[in-house]
């Protein structure tokens, strides 16, 4: 039988990474609850599964390493070795090594350089106790070392409960027959009770036979490897063996047994492989999702053309098809969705490592880790989140002494939470640290000419100054404000994902950073508006309201800026047509419509000719096909085949200033 083990490797790797994630999560929990034996069991089970499978599938480096790891875990589980910060440390390092070894085997990356060191530390904790299994006493009877073979007198007396172990004496006798020539087989029924006393499920019989075989005794014993302790199996040599060649004593696993089975394997797999997950190249997936996006546009075009031809009567077939296409699109987009759990776990690890190093006590709390996001978003949000969590641990949370002095519990608290709200995902990072020094930040901003010293800034506005490139790249600000290095980069990264970040800090009480992210980058709910003969899409998320203002509500300021009064609030008007160079569009707000949009709590009004309606837009990246255009987030194709540009509210906002 030749089975290609590679076909199971993908599953193995997927599974192993999952186990590693579970191990890491459990280890991090174990630190705060060292008495939780179930956590140790979880960790052990994960290591155990990786070990068993990795050796089987030929990933030996991983197998050997897990073996050492498992020995230690086993003793920890038995309570022989206590859970200490040292053991946790080493176990976490082991998780890293394991993960490195696996990616080395999977992707051909370099093997972790500290493997030997971690193995040494594991063995040290394990008290130098040999991590290898002590001698195999698998053989029920002692395997005679005599290499000779010849004629044996064999006695075989199954135990009374032989059948209850699923064993069958007949099979064993047949196996024995295949090892050589059996002669003089005798049935011993002397132990058979009277019919009245007989239990038909018990075994009362024994056999004696003479076996001529060229195999040595240990090989013959292998036939009986599964019999229980109460079963008698004896091999006796009645006379000195005739001269024959000694058979090499093969040191094989106990599974390597009588090789007499001549059965030819079935030529082809008779069953189908069951798969629970399939790994797909990201590009292929993207291309498929893109094609399905085209399909959505296609069906819209068909709908529109049909409407023109039929004069408004529905076609059942088109309605049906349209529904299928839209379901298909929804499903295809969900293929890209992954939970944020892995990212949160990385954060947990960083909180742990960093707080240990800094001598801080931090209780890290995670919720909503099952919340799903587009894989691209998850991949790209990792770094900004980690940057922010570092800030919280490093600069936000005070040392235990300082906390106690400030009347707070010695243990700091950081929480990260993900949740859905109105088509967005929010990730909220909250600490109860010392907060930011608002006066110093303000002073720095004034020194750098970012704000004027007479500017009245709200607390919120001062907080958000750290997102300013001029402030956040300044090294001194780190020392002063405790936050800031790279926060401009963080914000830029998040905005590239069509998301936003807000920050609020209260001195002495703590800091909260909230990141808003779109569910997916591939599609958005848009409000279609007309401007002259053109159609544009405004992301619906940014839209607050739309209305036609009355004459007295619109005012022109001294700097030629038009504003509109909405329920007492003054909102600047952006003449879209002049920004976009559209001549025949409406220039009087009172003749057209104003769409109020919002970004980071700043509102402004877009002057448009008319609203067309709402539509899901499949976003086509403009940069990939053309170049980046200020004010435009991308393009989409409308039902009638026309191209419409999607407005980028974030970059339009800068034009209002």
Partner 1 sequence: MANTALVVDDSTSMRQMVSFTLRDSGFEVIEAGNGEEALKNVAGKDVKVVVTDLNMPVMDGMTLIRRLRADAKFKFTPILMLTTESQDSKKQEGRAAGATGWIVKPFNPEQLMQVINKVVR
Which is closer to partner 1, CB of 45 or CB of 448? Answer: 45
Does position 557 bind partner 1 by CB under 8 A?
Answer: no
Does position 225 bind partner 1 by CB under 8 A?
Answer: yes
Positions 124 through 153 that interact with partner 1 (CB under 8 A): 132-134, 136-138
Kindly state the number of chain residues that form the binding site for partner 1, as judged by CB under 8 A.
Answer: 62
Positions 228 through 257 that interact with partner 1 (CB under 8 A): 228, 253-257
Query: Which part of the chain contacts partner 1 (CB under 8 A), choosing from 11-19, 342-350, 486-494, 541-549?
Result: 11-19
Does position 266 bind partner 1 by CB under 8 A?
Answer: yes
Q: Look at residues 517, 542, 537 and name the one whose alpha carbon lies nearest to residue 526.
A: 537
Instruction: Annotate 150-203 with DSSP letters as a single string.
Output: EEEEEEEE--TTGGGGT--HHHHHHHHHTTSEEEEEEEE-TT---GGG--TTS-
Q: Look at residues 443, 331, 348 and name the one whose alpha carbon lies nearest to residue 389.
A: 348
Question: In angstroms, rounded to a whole number, what is the distance separating the alpha carbons of residues 379 and 365?
Answer: 21
Positions 300 through 329 that interact with partner 1 (CB under 8 A): none
Positions 18 through 37 that interact with partner 1 (CB under 8 A): none
Question: In angstroms, rounded to a whole number, what is the distance separating the alpha carbons of residues 612 and 527?
Answer: 8
Task: Confirm if 546 and 401 have CB atoms less than 8 A apart.
Answer: no
Which is closer to partner 1, CB of 177 or CB of 383? Answer: 177
Which is closer to partner 1, CB of 14 or CB of 89? Answer: 14
Provide the token pair at 484: 């800031």
Provide the token pair at 510: 């703590």
Does position 45 bind partner 1 by CB under 8 A?
Answer: yes
Sketch the per residue contact string, 500 through 539, with partner 1: x for CB under 8 A, - otherwise: ----------------------------------------
Which is closer to partner 1, CB of 4 or CB of 283? Answer: 4
Q: How far is the CB of 170 from partner 1 (least distance, A)?
A: 9
Which is closer to partner 1, CB of 3 or CB of 196? Answer: 3
**Could you identify the residue written with the tokens 């394990």?**
126
Q: How far is the CB of 103 from partner 1 (least distance, A)?
A: 17
Beta strands in 170-306 (DSSP E): 181-188, 206-213, 232-236
Which is closer to partner 1, CB of 158 or CB of 482? Answer: 158
Cβ neighbour number for residue 645 with a 10 Å cutoff:
18
The conformation of residue 620, written as its DSSP 8-state character, comes to B
Query: Which part of the chain contacts partner 1 (CB under 8 A), choosing from 40-48, 533-541, 574-582, 636-644?
Result: 40-48
Does position 61 bind partner 1 by CB under 8 A?
Answer: no
Does position 201 bind partner 1 by CB under 8 A?
Answer: yes
Does position 226 bind partner 1 by CB under 8 A?
Answer: yes
Cβ neighbour number for residue 322 with a 10 Å cutoff:
16
User: How distant is the alpha carbon of residue 39 from its chain centre?
Assistant: 20
Query: Which part of the chain contacts partner 1 (CB under 8 A), choosing from 66-74, 242-250, 519-527, 529-537?
Result: 66-74
Question: In angstroms, rounded to a whole number, what is the distance separating the alpha carbons of residues 640 and 305?
Answer: 8
Provide the token pair at 594: 């104003």
What pairing do the DSSP bridges indicate for beta strands 602-608 and 569-574? parallel
Which is closer to partner 1, CB of 1 or CB of 558? Answer: 1
Positions 159 through 178 that interact with partner 1 (CB under 8 A): 163-168, 171, 174-175
Q: How far is the CB of 72 from partner 1 (least distance, A)?
A: 12
Q: How far is the CB of 67 from partner 1 (least distance, A)?
A: 8
Of the CA atoms within 13 Å of residue 497, those in its CB half-sphere come to 29
Does position 202 bind partner 1 by CB under 8 A?
Answer: no
Question: In angstroms, rounded to a whole number, what is the distance separating the alpha carbons of residues 397 and 389?
Answer: 11
Q: How far is the CB of 233 from partner 1 (least distance, A)?
A: 14
Does position 53 bind partner 1 by CB under 8 A?
Answer: yes
- In angstroms, the Cα distances linking 59 to 67, 69, 70, 104, 133 are 13, 16, 16, 10, 20
Task: Confirm if 389 and 414 have CB atoms less than 8 A apart.
Answer: yes
Provide the token pair at 537: 């899409």
Query: Which part of the chain contacts partner 1 (CB under 8 A), choosing from 182-190, 220-228, 341-349, 398-406?
Result: 220-228
* For the chain, counts of helices (H) and of strands (E): 20, 22
Query: Which part of the chain contacts partner 1 (CB under 8 A), choosing from 266-274, 421-429, 519-527, 558-566?
Result: 266-274
Which is closer to partner 1, CB of 45 or CB of 390? Answer: 45
Question: 622 phi and psi, to 5 degrees?
Answer: -75, -35
Provide the token pair at 287: 């291309």
Instruction: List residues near partner 1 by CB under 8 A.
Output: 1, 3, 5, 7-9, 11-12, 14-15, 44-45, 48-49, 51-53, 55-57, 63, 67, 70-71, 74, 132-134, 136-138, 163-168, 171, 174-175, 201, 223, 225-226, 228, 253-259, 261, 263, 265-266, 269-271, 273-274, 276
């Amino acid at each position: 039988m030749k089975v290609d083990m590679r076909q199971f490797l993908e599953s193995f790797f997927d599974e192993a990474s999952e186990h590693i994630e579970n191990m890491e999560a459990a280890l991090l929990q174990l630190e705060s609850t060292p008495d939780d034996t179930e956590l140790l069991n979880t960790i052990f089970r994960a290591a155990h599964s990786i070990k068993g499978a990795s050796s089987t599938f030929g990933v030996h480096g991983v197998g050997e390493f897990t073996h050492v790891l498992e020995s230690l875990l086993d003793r920890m589980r038995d309570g022989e070795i206590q859970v200490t910060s040292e053991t946790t440390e080493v176990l976490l390092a082991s998780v890293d090594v394991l993960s490195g070894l696996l990616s080395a085997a999977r992707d051909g990356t370099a093997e972790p350089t500290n493997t030997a060191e971690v193995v040494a530390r594991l063995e040290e904790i394990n008290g130098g106790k040999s991590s290898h299994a002590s001698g195999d006493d698998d053989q029920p009877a002692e395997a005679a070392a005599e290499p000779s073979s010849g004629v044996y007198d064999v006695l075989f007396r199954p135990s009374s409960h032989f059948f209850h172990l699923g064993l069958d004496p007949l099979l064993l006798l047949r196996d024995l027959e295949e090892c050589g020539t059996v002669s003089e087989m005798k049935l011993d029924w002397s132990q058979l009770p009277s019919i009245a006393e007989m239990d038909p499920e018990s075994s009362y019989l024994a056999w004696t036979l003479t076996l001529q075989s060229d195999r040595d005794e240990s090989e013959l014993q292998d036939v009986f490897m599964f019999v229980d302790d109460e079963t008698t199996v004896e091999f006796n040599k009645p006379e000195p063996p005739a001269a024959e060649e000694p058979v090499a004593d093969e040191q094989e696993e106990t599974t390597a047994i009588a090789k007499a089975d001549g059965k030819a394997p079935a030529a082809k797999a008779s069953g189908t492989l069951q798969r629970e997950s399939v790994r797909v190249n990201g590009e292929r997936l993207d291309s498929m999702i893109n094609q399905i996006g085209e399909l959505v546009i296609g069906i819209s075009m068909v709908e529109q053309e049909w409407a023109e031809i039929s004069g408004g009567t529905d076609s059942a077939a088109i309605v049906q098809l349209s529904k299928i296409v839209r379901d298909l699109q929804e499903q295809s987009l969900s293929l890209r969705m992954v939970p944020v759990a892995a990212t949160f776990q990385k954060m947990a690890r960083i909180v742990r490592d960093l707080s240990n190093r800094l001598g801080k006590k931090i209780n890290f709390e995670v919720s909503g880790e099952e919340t799903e996001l587009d894989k691209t978003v998850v991949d790209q949000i990792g770094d900004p989140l980690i940057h922010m969590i570092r800030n919280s641990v490093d600069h936000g949370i005070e040392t235990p002494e300082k906390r106690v002095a400030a009347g707070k519990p010695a243990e700091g608290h950081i929480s990260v939470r993900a949740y859905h709200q109105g088509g967005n995902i929010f990730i909220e990072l909250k600490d109860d640290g010392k907060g930011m020094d608002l006066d110093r930040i303000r002073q720095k901003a004034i020194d750098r000419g970012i704000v004027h010293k007479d500017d009245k800034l709200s607390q919120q506005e001062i907080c958000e100054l750290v997102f300013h490139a001029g402030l956040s790249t300044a090294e001194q600000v780190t020392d002063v404000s405790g936050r800031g290095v790279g926060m401009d980069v963080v914000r830029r990264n998040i905005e590239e994902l069509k998301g936003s970040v807000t920050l609020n800090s209260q001195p002495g009480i703590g800091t909260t950073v909230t990141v808003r992210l779109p569910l997916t980058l591939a599609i958005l709910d848009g409000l279609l508006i007309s401007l002259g003969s053109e159609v544009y899409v405004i992301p619906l998320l940014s839209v607050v309201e739309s209305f036609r203002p009355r004459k007295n509500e619109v005012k022109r300021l001294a700097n030629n800026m038009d504003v509109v009064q909405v329920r007492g609030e003054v909102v600047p008007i952006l003449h879209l047509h002049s920004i976009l160079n559209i001549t025949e569009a409406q220039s009087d707000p009172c003749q057209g419509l104003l769409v109020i949009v919002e970004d980071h709590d700043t509102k402004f009004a877009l002057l448009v000719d008319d609203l067309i309606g709402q539509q899901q837009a499949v976003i086509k990246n403009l940069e990939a096909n053309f170049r980046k255009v200020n004010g435009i987030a991308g393009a989409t194709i409308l039902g009638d085949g026309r191209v419409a540009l999607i407005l980028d509210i974030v970059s339009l906002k800068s034009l209002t200033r």
